[in-house]
Structure 1
Amino acid sequence: MHKLAQLDRRYVWHPFTQMRDWLRREPIVIVSGQGAVLRDTHGREYLDANASVWTNLHGHNHPKINAAIRRQLKKIAHSSALGLANEPASLLAEKLVEAANQLNAERGMGSAEWLPARLPGIPRSAFRVPRLNKVFFSDDGSTAMEVALKLAYEFARRTGRGKKPRFLSLAGAYHGDTVGAVSLGHIDLFHKAYAGLLFKSDTVMSPYCYRCPFNRAKPARADARDYRRCNWECVGKVETKFAAQKKRGNPYAAMVVEPLIQGAAGMIPQPAGWLRRVAEIVRGNDAQLIADEVMTGFGRVGQASSLSPVTGNDRSRKHSTDRLEACPTLFACQHEGVQPDFLALAKGMSGGYLPMAATLTTQKVFDEFLGEHEEFKTFFHGHSYTANQLGAAAALASLEILQGSASVRARQRLEQTLREELKTLWSSPNVGDIRQVGLMVGV
């Protein structure tokens, strides 16, 4: 056994790993990578098929990101963001704000023309389009969600939403492993053991068309979202939850969603229009919408124009998709013209190089934390490596690659190839559903 493998077995405790099984075999020790290929201590090569848990966007050892990190390393590797600003983090914040608001700028969202079809009982004025213009940096997806959760909690409390604001999330939700994020999760395998540590949150059914009890369509050899027959009962469940909580006198502070597709729940995609309709309910109840785009962000769900159009009275369809293709979308929410109050980002943010995350929010939320020192309105939260310069430099380089036309075309080709190859699986009688959202797939 290689010496590095021996050291690993002796000292390292791996995440989400049953270590008894791990210790029964020689571990694979990765020593290098190039593109999509990993190499171990014995020179064997492996395809990094899950992109190092959805973090790597452009391949290992990308020359542009390598160069960006080297340039920054010659200046400074890290200085605290507590009381100090730095160059790459400031530039990155600007780029993230531009990307998060890109479709709003292109479409002129906020005008009456762009208000989506509304649900009965929700006033026209309820559907507001917040501009995400404040960025709070952190280290990973869990911390990005923790920031969103704490900000939403305190915002709700300060604006009179209740002494103990409550949160709503989907069945099968997974939003990270810190205590607040776990409290929003509903996968017993991961979360049940820590029940005594957690605050209570509520759950509502996930819109899983293939296994939906309200889908009256007969199973077909196609994506269940395409042949479903229902009356949006899954949306009605969300509306009922909000109404019931409001009746109790303690309205929800926020609803938390993974937009377009739930990952850890089993790659469960939402039917076109679900996210938009749910966003309207959240807005109509004066609650906050938290979008967990840790997994879906940075182009992983494809271009907005590549997804099925929203059904129903969707006024946005009169606009040309050419404008969408000329304006590449990086975030899942943008596929349905939904702008959240909080946008949590991580994983692919640095291109898979360094721990880097961000939580974007609005001026309205930011202003609730402004005050004099003696008012104690400060957001008392942070991390030692928040806004790290090396991570920000890598993220800037990754964004530049990601938004380039070559990367957009490459992702579109990959998406189309994946779609065509997946069709071959229908020949198996064991396959009942194939679900694809961009470059994310469930079978």
Structure 2
Amino acid sequence: MQAMNNQAIVQRDLAVLWHPCSQMKDHDPRASAPDGLPLIPIKSGQGVWLEDFDGNRYLDAISSWWVNLFGHANPIINQALREQLETLEHVILGGFTHEAALTLAEKLVEITPPGLDKCFYADNGSSAVEVALKMSFHYWRNIGRTQKIKFITLENSYHGETLGALAVGNVALYKETYAPLLMDVITVASPDCYHREDGESWEAYSIRRFADMEQALAQNADEVCAVIVEPLVQCAGSMRMYHPVYLKLLREACDKYQVHLIADEIAVGFGRTGTLFACEQAAISPDFICLSKGLTGGYLPLSAVLTSNKVYQAFYDNYQNLTAFLHSHSYTGNALGCRAALATLGIFQQQNVIANNLHLAALMTKAVERFKEHPNVAEVRQTGMILAIELVKNKQTREAYPWQQRRGLTVYRYALSRGVLLRPLGNVIYFMPPYIINEQEIQLMADVAWQGIQLAVQD
């Protein structure tokens, strides 16, 4: 029988696995890279904690890439999946239906912003974005507006890594290599409030930056299908944040210029920003909302795109007219994924999650108060259960550390040694923990981040 310790698992892993978003040489101890980092083989999870094969535990401060809402091995979701396994694991959704997919669609229509009346399933966040882009384009085509073929996106945005989603994103690290493969888009300055003037409020800056979007719409509306944004937080774009007023202005402008609004709530939906959906803070309804990540509580890949009856009716016709939306995924509406999602939504319904999150967010704010005065912290920013700490070389000028120095990686490695999973975005350290974290665990997360930053900023 093969040994089941960390070293043995890593050796097996490096022989066959290629990990996502990784330079594999970093993980290979044989390469002897000075700034390398070991793989962490996880044996089990319980609540906010992960445990490796050597018995070390790690506080999952990033919700395993922002997906886990109510902890690992959650008993409510576990039980729901056990029950579903005894009934139906999956069935084709083309021409068939089943209770879990139907009930979940009903629930999503009920809880999302008003006017989102139809639910289309996909497999993951990038696929949801692809669905929304294609559906918007196809809508305009079906009603005879065939000149509408472009999309407007924000600087520093991220919408996934399939080619359509990558095209409407704007984080160079992910996009530049594949630029020759991507469709052209119109890119508008972000309302990212990190760049506001001294003394300028988030609201004032977001209003000021909207002028660029207004101009882009005025000049290009006739050929634009949709504007796509991440409401309130540009997550993969260094957790940069902006004021809800921008969304309100954007909704009004999209109506004025007859352009769709796509809200990518894949990372910010399901309570992350302090409301169930980020769009609620601007009291708007998008034409399309993309959901994934926390939808299943971090258990299974599933995504959904919700849109209006108006959009749906543009596709509803005799087959011979070829207006149908012929887009599909083999695991569309997977029964296990839908059942996990229903259990997750049940927790929101049965427990006072949003109110409790406001309490947890306040504890996070308090735990990082001292970071604001750190000589190498340019900004501490927070929207609900997302908190980010931006490291810089010079606090006064906000001169950034050269990315090649990988200062954030020092924080990551130190945190692992102290039993906390932090995965910085460059030099931005962030907390995005499961909603069941407690005050002591929040304090541990903050203390370890502080100590890691002290180590990282040493010359």
Sort the TM-score into its range (normalised by shorter chain). 0.7 to 0.9
Within 1, Cα distance between the matches of 2:140 and 2:62?
A: 38
The DSSP-based 3-state class of the residue aligned with 2:69 is coil
CA distance in 1, matches of 2:352, 2:308: 32
| TM-score of the superposed pair, with normalisation by structure 2 | 0.79
CA distance in 2, matches of 1:172, 1:46: 30
Task: Give the whole-Å Cα distance in 2 for the aligned partners of 1:275 and 1:408.
Answer: 21
TM-score, length of structure 1 as denominator length: 0.82
Whether 2:258 is the aligned partner of 1:286: answer: yes
Q: Pick one of 297, 316, 320 that aligns with 2:269.
A: 297
- Which residue does the alignment assign to 1:16? 21
Shift, 1:69, TM fit? 0.1
Instruction: Give the superposed CA RMSD.
Output: 1.6
1:244-263 to structure 2, matched below 5 A, reads 244-246=219-221, 250-263=222-235
Q: Deviations over 1:20-45 (max 9, x none)?
A: 11122652111100000001111111
2:126 is matched with: 142
Separation of aligned partners in 2, 1:437 and 1:225: 15
Structure 1 residues 90, 60: closer, same or farther in 2, change over 3 A? same
**Mapping 1:41-440, distance limit 5 Å:** 41-101=53-113, 104=114, 131-212=115-196, 215=197, 217-218=198-199, 225=201, 232-246=207-221, 250-303=222-275, 330-440=276-386
Deviations 1:382-438, CA, capped at 9 Å, x for gaps: 111110001111100000102333423431221110122222212312223221100
What's the offset of the Cα at 1:164?
Answer: 5.0
8 Å CA contact 1:242–1:251 kept in 2: the answer is no
Tell me how far apart the structure 1 counterparts of residues 207 and 241 of structure 2 sit (CA, whole Å). 15
The alpha-carbon deviation at position 369 of structure 1 amounts to 1.0
Paired with 1:230 and 1:30, the residues of 2 have a C-alpha distance of 43
Contact 1:34/1:60 (8 A) holds in 2: yes
Q: Distance in 2 between matches of 1:157 and 1:296?
A: 30
Q: Is the 8 A contact 1:210 1:225 kept in 2?
A: no
Letter in 2 for 1:34: Q
* Count of residues in correspondence between the two structures: 377
Deviation at 1:234, TM superposition (A): 0.8
Preserved contact between residue 161 and residue 253 of structure 1 (Cα < 8 Å): no
CA distance in 2, matches of 1:231, 1:367: 35
Match of 1:29 among 35, 41, 45: 41
- Matched-pair contact (CA < 8 Å) for 2:230–2:264: yes
Give the match's secondary structure for 1:434: strand
- 1:412 aligned counterpart, secondary structure: helix
The alignment partner of 1:435 has SS state of strand
Q: Is the 8 A contact 1:225 1:271 kept in 2?
A: no
The amino acid that maps onto 1:72 is: Q
Q: What is the rounded CA distance, in whole Å, between the counterparts of 1:290 and 1:164 in structure 2?
A: 15
Distance 1:66 1:230 in 2: 45
Partner amino acid for 1:134?
Answer: K
Among 10, 31, 39, the alignment partner of 2:51 is 39
The one-letter amino acid of 2:14's match is R
Letter in 2 for 1:286: Q
Q: For 1:206, what is the secondary structure of its paired residue?
A: coil
- Write out per-residue CA displacement over residues 192-218 of structure 1, whole angstroms, 9 at most, x where no aligned residue: 111111110111011122314xx3x35
- Partner-residue secondary structure (3-state), 2:119: strand
**Equivalent-residue separation in structure 2 for 1:377 and 1:252 (angstroms):** 20
Judge conservation of contact 2:142–2:323 (CA < 8 Å) in 1.
Answer: no
Q: For residues 151-205 of structure 1, what are the alpha-carbon distances to aligned partners after superposition, in whole Å with 9 as ceiling and x for unaligned?
A: 0011122223333511000001110011110110111110111111111011101
For residues 198-244 of structure 1, the C-alpha deviation after alignment (integer angstroms, 9 at most, x for no partner) is 110111011122314xx3x35xxxxx645x76593311110100111
Judge conservation of contact 1:141–1:294 (CA < 8 Å) in 2.
yes
Structure 2 counterpart of 1:18, which letter?
Answer: Q
Quick one: percent identity of the two aligned structures? Answer: 39
1:232 aligned partner, one-letter code: I
* Letter aligned with residue 148 of structure 1: A
Distance 1:188 1:432 in 2: 22
* Residue identity in the other structure for 1:170: L
